[in-house]
Amino acid sequence: MFIVTGGAGFVGSNLVRALNRSGHTDILVVDNLSGVGKARNLADLVISDYLDKREFRARLDAGTLDVRAEAVFHNGACSDTMESDGRYMMENNFGDSKALLHWCLARHTPLVYASSAATYGTSADFEPVPRNERPLNVYGYSKLAFDQHVRSLLPAIQSPVVGLRYFNVFGPREGHKGRMMSVLHQLLPQLKEQGVCRLFAGTEGYGDGEQRRDFIFVDDIVAINLHFAGAGMAKDIFNAGTGRARSFNDIARTLIRLLGQGRIEYIPFPDALRGNYQSFTQADVRSLRGAGFTAPFTELEAGIEATLAEL
């Protein structure tokens, strides 16, 4: 059996789909479906069991989760970077992760979990080492706090534990995410309904729409997860990005070309985001490549085209 937390979410449901395509259906999905939109992500997938995240945590705490798992993919989290309730964020992203980590360690079950490039904040260096970590919000800190907990245990850990710092992931099955959808999914309805893509005007030395992020197609994120689930005794934190930053203009122009309509409009950069915004991210993937993940990454334009085809 495989356990996929956040299995009805964006990355989680794409992981379940990949497992299904590899012939695996004995999958326990853990999620919170109080927001019912995510249920659509599971409708075309095959799983053997489902647990609400609160019941799952209760069983972890009580020691009654009687499951023998081949590997655990932990993608369950509060990913809202604008969330202001720090206690809620820490309980979701640190407390739940810590409980699951220690359950896996006691059973020597491989754990691959989602960290985030938000741990870097405004750093200009994205090597996954402590000197580059300076999160801008409680979301980024909650992810960093768990990474630090994992690091404190690594010398004594006797089973695979891998943290993946997701950069800007995009692709199908993220329509439920609301304001946390990728730039692609935020621009698409603007373009279809109003014929315009609205991007931020220049800031922090970047031209209009030229703020740059490391955009990675979700299929590549899935491939990295699956690699480390079968990579022997891997124990570390790795970046999950392409190593190549692209501009927001690149996304807008690709959408306009593929849909054959629209234009770009630049809007004032919000004052509330000044000093609290990652205008540039680019994964340092040397350690990822050194750990044996050698597959090529999907080009931004190809990922956008594949996403539109599925939508």
- Active-site residues, by number, are 139, 177
Please report, to the nearest 10 degrees, the dihedral formed by the alpha carbons of residues 30, 81, 144, 50 taken in order: 0
**Coil, strand or helix at 142:** helix
**In angstroms, rounded to a whole number, what is the distance separating the alpha carbons of residues 127 and 299?**
22
Map tokens 């279809």 to a residue.
192
Q: Where are the beta strands (DSSP E) in the chain?
A: 2-5, 27-31, 49-52, 71-74, 111-116, 161-166, 168-170, 196-200, 212-213, 215-217, 235-240, 246-247, 263-267
* Distances, alpha carbon 68 to alpha carbons 8, 108, 179, 197, 208, in Å: 21, 10, 37, 48, 52
Map tokens 């081949």 to a residue.
70
Dihedral pair phi/psi, residue 21, rounded to 5°: -65, -20
